[in-house]
Structure 1
């Protein structure tokens, strides 16, 4: 690790932007899986209507800065496999459907302009990809659920290629926030080392194996028992993605308490 990663220890507070096709549906980020929505229906009914017509990342960046946040994480691709940038690895992306433009670039530009660290969420899991074991597992597939070794290898090359694009096309990236790294070791060391080769000062969380620099906990403040950077990841209501029926918002004093509890134990919170 380099001195360029020391920012994380001082940040204490960040913004997590969980945004994608599921935001249009307004039923939470796992709705396509839970409701067993076929791919063609998902594209026609939801992807095509995710227009991002009010997208204003500068307003997000201003809000983050005014709140004292030091970094922001954007869901560049969630488990549905829809990329918010015009990836060359498939046609399932925001340059081709829905908004029909790059959504990652304006985020990067806005948050850099406001002096905040730029961080990418990325889920290797991709429910609708033809080589993935399938979209409708209750949580995650098991190692034996791949249709064949060839399917697994093609899928690994696919997600690796997408990460290479993200790490190559948007300048300096400060933090890679993995999620959905299932059903087994997806050549994680090889992929993570490729990421670090392109972004020597990047931080990586532990969800896709070694090498990593940050341990995370969701919906709880649980500092690790060993010396490592760590982050408590908390929602402001009960969902990560927008859910129109979820009004169980945390109060300001709840947020302040989360921040102080995390900072007191040496962690960072979003």
Structure 2
């Protein structure tokens, strides 16, 4: 009996040792696998492939929300502009005359001297008492969005998450809640793809440093940055290392599916960190077992070589098809990304037209909302999101999971190219048409209702054997004919919706 027990014990020990060895092999193999990407462009170009899932989702929500929502004046750059007291700085502001900025004057009138009441003093006022992550996610789902990208930290230096690298974060101060974490949890529970954006690199030179402001007080250098008073002081090695630790903290603890970066990362100051970031994040994606998306503007130089990240355009579009996936980020607000009391919303029609135009050119739309400081999303923004969602419920077949066609569209209205070009674009007409395709069908999307009740689609030639034509959202029989000039379609008597109109062509 003793011999049998001893044998069983020995066998158990051997089995345990064997299991431990196997576990060690698995861990070692996993560790090897996450080192696919090396921190150089040759390695990244060799191994990187744009995730197909991103190109299929088409529509996401951006969220600019932070302590800058408390003054609710100017824009999310209030923290910078409230210290702009002279022409030296205001010259950097568009449409701003020499002298103090409007934010500087507003601050002194409403909050007092910037030495006694600085930006830091807004943080205790940022309480987010009505913030409900699940309600936000429900709204975004109703809007038809497939992914959400909250701002994790803006130029102001305040982290909207539980940071392990700065005391200036939403768990320690202000709301005393992990805003990003709550949104991540609520979004993922409801099938949303969740990302995060980092604007922190520009924190280095975001604030004007003068002795008459609190920005030079060393007690707050970890919020206002350790930069000195010299406007041209290059980014220090210590700050860049802090940026890197902060970025890794965000990646490691929240595992964002999408990681979006603002313009400062594109500058020469951060050149050595860009391949380091891409390799680290892509390897983490492999470790997590998912394809992740890194987004950048390539604002000042080709910071990230083509085909190594998803290209992003701020408040601008492309005039034609880009075969590599890309994205436009823009705001519902024409005058701000964060909530301001004089917020001006775009029209639902213009935003739906933007979405269609972008998708026809192989892009995605990341549309920003600006909640109030208490955590409520204003009704005018809600209404627009719900109207977009209703349109997508009816016409989403022409948007989601589609590919670009042989031409993006036709019509007289041209689209301007580049960052911050949206203000130069004209409204689309009934002669403007955009195309997408999926599952053997081509979708011809009319950007407005044709004036004479019929439309000629010139891009559909005699070589395209049209079998049937229907309009999404209606059972009305569509009259059509095909000739040498194209496909002529007679519109139904009643519009199926209030905005763009989709013809589904079976070829």
TM-score range, shorter chain: 0.7 to 0.9
Q: Deviations over 1:177-199 (max 9, x none)?
A: 10142553312222232222223
1:183-230 Cα deviation digits (max 9, x unpaired): 533122222322222234221112473364211112222267753211
What SS does the corresponding residue of 1:14 show, helix, strand or coil? strand
Q: Does 1:179 align with 2:262?
A: yes
Does structure 2 conserve the Cα–Cα contact (< 8 Å) formed by 1:11 and 1:71?
yes
Change (3 A) 1:132 1:12: farther
SS in 1 for 2:246: helix
Larger Rg: 2
Superposition map of 1:86-97 within 5 A: 86-97=162-173
Does 1:243 find its partner at 2:340? yes
2:282 aligned residue:
196
Q: Contact 2:194–2:258 at 8 Å: present in 1 too?
A: yes
8 A contact 1:29–1:240 mirrored in 2: yes
Does residue 202 of structure 2 align to residue 125 of structure 1? yes
Residue correspondence of structure 1 range 209-228 to structure 2 within 5 A: 209-210=303-304, 212-222=308-318, 227-228=323-324
Cα drift, residue 129 of structure 1: 4.1
- 1:11-50 → structure 2 map (5 Å cutoff): 11-27=57-73, 28-36=75-83, 41-44=118-121, 46-50=122-126
1:48 Cα shift? 1.0
Q: Secondary structure in 1 aligned to 2:313?
A: strand
Secondary structure in 2 aligned to 1:234?
strand
Q: Please report how far the alpha carbon of residue 40 of structure 1 lies from its aligned counterpart in structure 2 after TM superposition.
A: 6.4
Which of 37, 40, 53 in structure 2 is aligned with 1:7? 53
In structure 2, how many angstroms separate the alpha carbons of the residues matched to 1:106 and 1:47? 19
Could you tell me whether the CA contact under 8 Å between 1:213 and 1:229 is conserved in 2? Answer: no
CA shift, 1:257, in A, is: 0.7
1-structure distance, mates of 2:345, 2:132: 23
> Contact (CA 8 Å) 2:297, 2:314: kept in 1 or not?
no
After alignment, is 24-33 or 125-134 more displaced? 125-134
User: Is 2:246 the partner of 1:162?
Assistant: yes
Distance 2:227 2:337 in 1: 23
TM-score, reference length from structure 1? 0.86
The corresponding residue for 1:64 is 140
Relative to 1, partners in 2 of residues 1:39 and 1:218: Cα closer, same or farther, differing over 3 Å? farther
Question: Hey, what's the Cα distance between the residues in 1 that align with 2:116 and 2:331?
Answer: 28
What runs of 5+ residues in structure 2 fail to find an aligned partner? 1-47, 84-113, 207-222, 367-507
Describe the SS at the equivalent of 2:148.
strand
Identify the range of structure 1 (203-212 vs 106-115) with the bigger mean alpha-carbon deviation.
203-212
**Residue in structure 2 matching 1:116, options 184, 192, 198:** 192
CA-to-aligned-CA distance 1:11-35 (integer Å, 9 cap, x gap): 1111111111111221210011111
- Between the aligned partners of 2:149 and 2:276, the Cα distance in structure 1 is 23
CA RMSD of aligned residues (A): 2.4
Please identify runs of 4+ aligned residues in structure 1 that moved more than 6 A: none
Task: Find the residue that maps to 2:236 and give its secondary structure.
Answer: helix
Contact kept in structure 1, 2:321 and 2:361, CA below 8 Å: no
The Cα offsets for residues 125-163 of structure 1, whole Å up to 9 and x where unpaired, read as 2234433467xx9xxx7xx522xxxx6111111111111
After superposition, the Cα gap between the structure-2 partners of 1:2 and 1:77, relative to the gap in structure 1 and judged at 3 Å, is same
SS of residue paired to 2:119: helix
Select which of 167, 173, 177 maps to 1:101.
Answer: 177
> Secondary structure at the residue paired with 1:73?
strand
Q: Which moved more, 1:94-103 or 1:211-220?
A: 211-220
Query: Aligned-pair distance for 1:41?
Result: 1.6
How far off its partner does 1:263 sit?
A: 0.9
Distance between the aligned counterparts of 2:238 and 2:310, measured in 1?
Answer: 28
Report the number of matched residues.
Answer: 255
The Cα of 1:122 is off from its aligned counterpart by 0.4
Note closer, same or farther for the CA distance 1:185–1:258 as it changes in structure 2 (3 Å cut): same
For residue 392 of structure 2, what is the aligned residue in structure 1? none
